Structure 1
Amino acid sequence: MDVNDVLRDVNPAEVTNLTIPDFMIGARIWLAVGELQFYTVLGENGMPSLVEPSVVNPRDPSANVSWGFVEYTLNEAGIYADISFVDFMGLPLGIILESETTTVQSALGPEIGSVQNICNDLAGQAAIDGQPWDRLCVYNAAGNPLRVLSPVDYLTLDADAFDGYYDSYVDSVWERYTSEPLTILTQSSAGPVNCTVDPSTNLLSCEGDNRAYAQPTAADIFGCNSGPFAIEASDNAVHLAVVPRLCAAFNRGTLLLDDGNVTPTFPMNVYYTNDGPKNWYSAFVHRYEADGKGYAFAYDDVVPDGGADSAGLTASPDPEVLTIVVGGSSTRE
């Protein structure tokens, strides 16, 4: 592709069309209010690698630009596209997918003014529990919010942030499932799997799982890829099914609810309703999404069988048009 085919200046309320090539794997469409800086560096092997804008580097050339991206894969199987706020939420984006044979799919994304609203709510939560939720917000020189970092990304800037935040909650979860089983619905051939805490080891063990689970820290829960949630090459199918469902339940704060001993079962309106610790970033991102869709942590696609989609993943074997809505949705479903 010619560079002029992929770099476009678009004015407010203007529509532009772009034809994307087939066989794009793990691709991104970047959008920004202003100009983003991309560059390449040579590795030790002499091969160039692309350096993308970073939300956690205050000296990044694009640090004062509001931007976001849509992720997609387009290959012989069709298209898979989503909006993701796993790392941050900046320029509000939504997607609408039209195809030849499937119904129109959409993830409308954040509402107009959502970044400011989330920052206001995070500041309020910080005043309540003393945790640095307000520091997730990044402001420009004029004092206007540019983006909101996820807690796992903020931890790369302040490793001690949220230290101990989940400790009392995790202790209570461990206490509950010492005396009764936690049933993980693997939504696979493994079926329901019962998990219990062994008091002698303080590990949560699940039937048929090749490894047990130590108590997670806040960083483990926010990232879902460290501590007991780290995946190893030798992990079996049960372990691979338990990890996302267990981590999602911790983020959403459902494990101590009355029926939280079986997961995933709750609809979206029950997520983040517990009185204890939860991922407030994810809660507020979903609060200000027009339809509640869009990944706000790594395993946000964990839902009950037949449950409403919270991740905002769209897919079609015969796509025709992918529309990206920029600047925020004014429609709430």
Structure 2
Amino acid sequence: MLGRLRHQLLATAATATLLGGLLALGAAQPASGAVPATIPLKLTNNSGRADAVYVYNLGTNLATGQQGWADANGAFHAWPAGGNPPTPAPDASIPGPAAGQSKTIRMPKFSGRVYFSYGQKLDFRLTTGGLVQPAVQNPSDPNRNILFNWSEYTLNDSGLWLNSTQVDMFSAPYAVGVQRSDGTTINTGHLKSGGYNAVFNRLRAQSGGWAGLIQTRPDGTVLRALSPAYGLETGALPASVLDDYINRVWQKYATTTLTVTPFTDQPNTKYFGRVSGGVMNFTNSAGATVTSFQKPDASSVFGCHKLLDAPNDQVRGPISRTLCAGFNRSTLLTNPNQPDTSSASFYQDAITNHYARVIHDRMADGKAYAFAFDDVGNHESLVHDGDPQQAYLTLDPLN
């Protein structure tokens, strides 16, 4: 479910994303009142870089629905009115910790993002509709040559949901964590030793345009790898990059039934897909058609949208997110019962989401948000606790 709502943000992120109900699943939980108005976020700089670090806490105030930013003490500041063309946003930056140091700020009850940048402040703008996010797939974006990244979170009366994400790009590495009421800490997002450079090296070695996802500064400094959804947009990846696999899936299920069991807690809720006339129709256990899908293209698969749109309902959305995960992980040909949640079977076809493959392979715990519905089967890099004592964001080495 978190991935579904993360995906809804991605669908509008091409050039002028408005920060709204990010990770809104948290916001939908029943209130218990157990969580204080703010909790500490400990930022630790293990990057080894001498650059100054700038931190931003941007999001939606869950009490009012207003968009804005939080200062280091967790106080909320609403954005002023924007313009068209977009106008500069107020400077919401918080000085981050120096290399080898830590700094603690406060997180309010937000649904939003914690950005961090190295060496230079980010350039945020405001339109009449809200905040414009950085869109570095656009060569003219003012943040194109800045090394930065972000984490996503929701903090509300039911607890904290905090994740690392590579849905839009893989860049400056970091991990997230939460301290529970019993004093134990859980974390995710750390790369294996040498994992940062290994991701770029493996993309360079992968034929078919995958090396074109890598963005560098004019001096050659590597900044990030764009997601394949943006690789299609920029022309780095050919539009036909997944056609062979998609065609084989459509051919298989013209004569075989694809069984989707989308809810782990509802094993008897099943949907049955067959391709007829070029369309995959899904029926329920009573034989009634509940939804249909045109054959998707690579953009639909990588973005988990368009022809694989996933509304926030109880039928099409859950089926679509299962298909999206199966296409990205290339498990639909090897297993007619989906979702396939065993990571050993993921990315085994020559035609697959190689970006997601190499990122997961280099994660210390194997978990990542490398595409919007990477939470299918619980393979996402997420920490959650209903009574969080402290959150953590650790900036890791770029090696």
Give the TM-score band, short-chain normalised.
Answer: 0.7 to 0.9
Match of 1:282 in 2: 356
Judged with a 3 Å threshold, the aligned counterparts in structure 2 of structure 1 residues 216 and 41 are, in CA distance, closer, same or farther, namely same
Q: Secondary structure at the match of 2:328?
A: helix
Q: Secondary structure at the match of 1:17?
A: strand
What stretches of structure 1 move > 6 A for 4+ residues in a row?
none
Q: Secondary structure at the match of 1:20?
A: strand
For residues 318 and 329 of structure 1, the distance between their equivalents in structure 2, rounded to whole angstroms, comes to 32
Alignment check: 8 A CA contact 1:295 1:312 kept? yes
TM-score (norm 2): 0.71
Match of 2:110 in 1: 24
Cα distance, 1:152 vs structure 2: 0.5
Alignment check: 8 A CA contact 1:107 1:293 kept? yes
Judged with a 3 Å threshold, the aligned counterparts in structure 2 of structure 1 residues 52 and 214 are, in CA distance, closer, same or farther, namely closer
Match of 1:263 in 2: 338
Instruction: Please tell me the residue identity of whatever aligns with 2:299.
Output: A
Residues 70-85 of structure 1 correspond to what in structure 2 (within 5 A)?
70-85=151-166
Cα distance, 1:58 vs structure 2: 2.4
Q: Secondary structure at the match of 1:147?
A: strand
For residues 274 and 397 of structure 2, the distance between their equivalents in structure 1, rounded to whole angstroms, comes to 44
Instruction: Please tell me the residue identity of whatever aligns with 2:226.
Output: L
Alignment check: 8 A CA contact 1:109 1:329 kept? no
**Any stretches of 5+ residues in structure 2 without a counterpart?**
1-68, 74-92
Instruction: Please tell me the residue identity of whatever aligns with 1:163.
Output: A
Match of 2:273 in 1: 195
Match of 2:373 in 1: 299
For residues 268 and 73 of structure 1, the distance between their equivalents in structure 2, rounded to whole angstroms, comes to 27
Match of 1:240 in 2: 317
For residues 34-60 of structure 1, the C-alpha deviation after alignment (integer angstroms, 9 at most, x for no partner) is 1232333342xxx7x323332212233
Match of 2:244 in 1: 168
For residues 222-242 of structure 1, the C-alpha deviation after alignment (integer angstroms, 9 at most, x for no partner) is 111112x12458xx6221211
Alignment check: 8 A CA contact 2:122 2:146 kept? no
For residues 331 and 127 of structure 2, the distance between their equivalents in structure 1, rounded to whole angstroms, comes to 46
Alignment check: 8 A CA contact 1:195 1:204 kept? yes
**Any stretches of 5+ residues in structure 1 without a counterpart?**
304-308
Alignment check: 8 A CA contact 2:196 2:398 kept? no
Match among 100, 104, 119 for residue 13 of structure 1:
100
Judged with a 3 Å threshold, the aligned counterparts in structure 2 of structure 1 residues 76 and 18 are, in CA distance, closer, same or farther, namely same
How many residues are paired up?
Answer: 306
Residues 1-333 of structure 1 correspond to what in structure 2 (within 5 A)?
3=71, 5=73, 7-21=94-108, 23-25=109-111, 27-43=112-128, 49-101=130-182, 104-111=185-192, 113-126=194-207, 131-158=208-235, 161-187=237-263, 189=266, 191-198=269-276, 201-208=277-284, 209-227=289-307, 229-231=308-310, 237-257=314-334, 260-274=335-349, 276-303=350-377, 309-328=378-397
Alignment check: 8 A CA contact 2:210 2:237 kept? no
Alignment check: 8 A CA contact 2:114 2:152 kept? yes
Judged with a 3 Å threshold, the aligned counterparts in structure 2 of structure 1 residues 265 and 50 are, in CA distance, closer, same or farther, namely closer
For residues 165-211 of structure 1, the C-alpha deviation after alignment (integer angstroms, 9 at most, x for no partner) is 2222222112211222111112164622221112xx12111113532
Cα distance, 1:163 vs structure 2: 1.7
Q: Secondary structure at the match of 1:281?
A: helix
Q: Give the root-mean-square deviation of aligned CA atoms.
A: 2.3
Cα distance, 1:116 vs structure 2: 2.6
Cα distance, 1:102 vs structure 2: 8.4
Judged with a 3 Å threshold, the aligned counterparts in structure 2 of structure 1 residues 310 and 102 are, in CA distance, closer, same or farther, namely farther
For residues 223 and 180 of structure 1, the distance between their equivalents in structure 2, rounded to whole angstroms, comes to 26
For residues 210 and 94 of structure 1, the distance between their equivalents in structure 2, rounded to whole angstroms, comes to 40
For residues 103-133 of structure 1, the C-alpha deviation after alignment (integer angstroms, 9 at most, x for no partner) is 532213334543432221112112xxxx211
More strand by share: 2
Judged with a 3 Å threshold, the aligned counterparts in structure 2 of structure 1 residues 121 and 210 are, in CA distance, closer, same or farther, namely same
Instruction: Please tell me the residue identity of whatever aligns with 2:124.
Output: Y
Alignment check: 8 A CA contact 2:331 2:340 kept? no
TM-score (norm 1): 0.84
For residues 146 and 114 of structure 1, the distance between their equivalents in structure 2, rounded to whole angstroms, comes to 15
